[in-house]
Structure 1
Amino acid sequence: MSRGLRALWVALGLAWLMLTPALAYEPEILQMGVQRTPEAVYLSARLKLVPAAAVEDALLKGVPLYFAWQADVYRQRWYWSNKRVATAVRTLRIAYQPLTRRWRVSLSTDTGGATGAGLQYALHQNFDSLAEALAGVGRVSRWKVADGTRLQADDKHHVEWSFRLDLSLLPRPFQIGMANQPAWVIAVQKVLRVPVPVQAEPEPQPGSVSDTLPIDVFGE
């Protein structure tokens, strides 16, 4: 193989590596589920986040990171594409505070297109360690993702939820080339079926068996 042809193959290989998106690090899912009540649809999930050394080093140097949750509720249609009936988003900012040596997690549910410093935060919580802060970031409990009135009782629905490190909210110098660095591509996406509505049990009539039996306070 001539020197010129070898150089061409090397250049093509480098170009391919630059254009090929890096494989994302997918956090381990410890728990997930969807609950449906007449009032709303709720999503619960718990992830195990283990950031790479480069990500942790940036945090320790005072660079805040932003993690985004998003849930889209769809009504399934056999005759056409599924219809999105609701969307819920939440952004969590995690930052290290050198003076107190504590970690602060801030929650924003701003959907107005604000980015970075423009986000409005509704809740702040401090943690003693990075592991505890990441556990808070990677967890949602009974997160309301849709009003019950948006769902039709006789139709099937599902929730498409995702979690990712939002690189677009990083300071500009850190955004350059991040999309092709596996350590910085943290994302997971799943689909869950929304349970069908549960029919309410009729109230027992006075004098019936269920009305006279003692109550089991422990249950199953």
Structure 2
Amino acid sequence: MIVRPAAVLLQLLLWCVMGLVTSPPAAAQAHGATVTQMRLEQADDGVYLSAAVDFELPQLVEDVLDKGIAIYFVAEAELYRERWYWTDRKLAQAARHMRLAYQPLTRRWRLNVAPVPITGNTGFGVSLNQNFDSLGEALDAVKRIGRLRLGDVAEIGDDASHGVVFRFRLDTSQLPRPFQIGVVGQADWDIAVERSARLPVERLR
């Protein structure tokens, strides 16, 4: 009997989805996130946002990772200038996409970070790759959004403060299609937070 890799992968996906769909409703709990830090910094080469989030990864999501299925996180930021006579003007926006996966052969965790969605079609050529010995270490890196570049100082201006909208979420739209169907309505996959604030610009030296 010849076992085809594609068939094995399909069986694995279907098994996982069935596990998601048949999970008892009582076991589902809300797993949100909180923003614990936001900071605007101006350097010679641009304006950056640093942020930190805190969340607990549900056991259901850990089980999916253990089976070799990657999960994706997205951090997004928008920068505004306040206008008393009209709605605030958007000056800049930026995003950071993160792909977290377990490598069974090395028993290590790999985190790919890129400014654009990381897909099989585009490859990981534009991403920064990091390897970790434990899931906890990898998640710590996901939770720290360091120096997200928003743009040049000439484009943004040198105002003393700016309005900032920061969003962070677990992006289920990049999961394999069977998983996208299975996670609908599952609170375990609902990890997201949004925070708005007016922040002073710290000038780095």
State the match for 1:67 in structure 2.
Answer: 73
Question: In the aligned structure 1, how far is the partner of 2:47 from the partner of 2:198?
Answer: 11
The one of the two structures with greater contact order (alpha-carbon pairs below 8 A, sep at least 6) is: 2
Tell me if the contact between 2:99 and 2:118 (Cα under 8 Å) persists in the aligned partners: no
Residue 145 of structure 1 corresponds to which residue in structure 2?
150
Q: What is the alpha-carbon distance in structure 2 between the residues aligned to residue 179 and residue 52 of structure 1?
A: 16
1:41 Cα offset (Å): 2.0
Further displaced range: 23-32 or 47-56 = 23-32
CA distance in 2, matches of 1:97, 1:154: 45
Counterpart position of 1:178: 183
User: By how many angstroms is 1:74 displaced?
Assistant: 1.2
How far does residue 82 in structure 1 lie from its aligned partner after superposition?
Answer: 1.6
Aligned length: 175
CA contact 2:48–2:149 (8 Å) conserved in 1: yes
1:62-99 deviation digits (Å, cap 9, x = unpaired): 11001001111111222222221111111010000111
Q: Decide whether the 8 Å contact of 1:36 with 1:195 is kept in 2.
A: no
Separation in structure 1 between the aligned mates of residue 151 and residue 134 of structure 2, nearest angstrom? 33
- 2-structure distance, mates of 1:88, 1:161: 10
Secondary structure at 2:106's aligned position in 1?
A: coil
**Which has the larger strand fraction?**
2
Residue 23 of structure 1: how far off its partner (Å): 8.7
| Pair 1:164-2:169 in alignment | yes
* Match of residue 101 from structure 2: 95
2:55 aligns with one of 38, 49, 54: 49
Measured in 1, the distance between the counterparts of 2:37 and 2:95 equals 19
What residue is the counterpart of 2:115 in the other structure? 109
* Contact persistence 1:96–1:104 (CA under 8 A): yes
**Is 1:118 the counterpart of 2:121 in the alignment?**
yes
Q: Deviations over 1:142-194 (max 9, x none)?
A: 22223211224458621111111111111000001524211001111112323
Corresponding residue for residue 134 of structure 1: 139
Q: What is the CA RMSD across the aligned residues, in angstroms?
A: 2.5
Higher-Rg structure is: 1
| Residue type of the alignment partner of 1:145 | L
2:143 corresponds to which letter in structure 1?
Answer: G
**Counterpart secondary structure, 2:120:** helix
**What is the deviation of 1:53?**
0.8
Aligned identity (percent) is: 43
Task: Name the SS of the counterpart of 1:62 in structure 2.
Answer: coil
CA contact (8 A) 2:73 2:169 kept: yes
Tell me if structure 2 keeps the 8 A contact 1:33–1:192: no
Gaps of 5+ in 1: 1-21, 201-220
* TM superposition score normalised by structure 1: 0.70
TM-score, normalisation: structure 2: 0.75
Whole-angstrom CA distance in 1 between matches of 2:154 and 2:189: 39
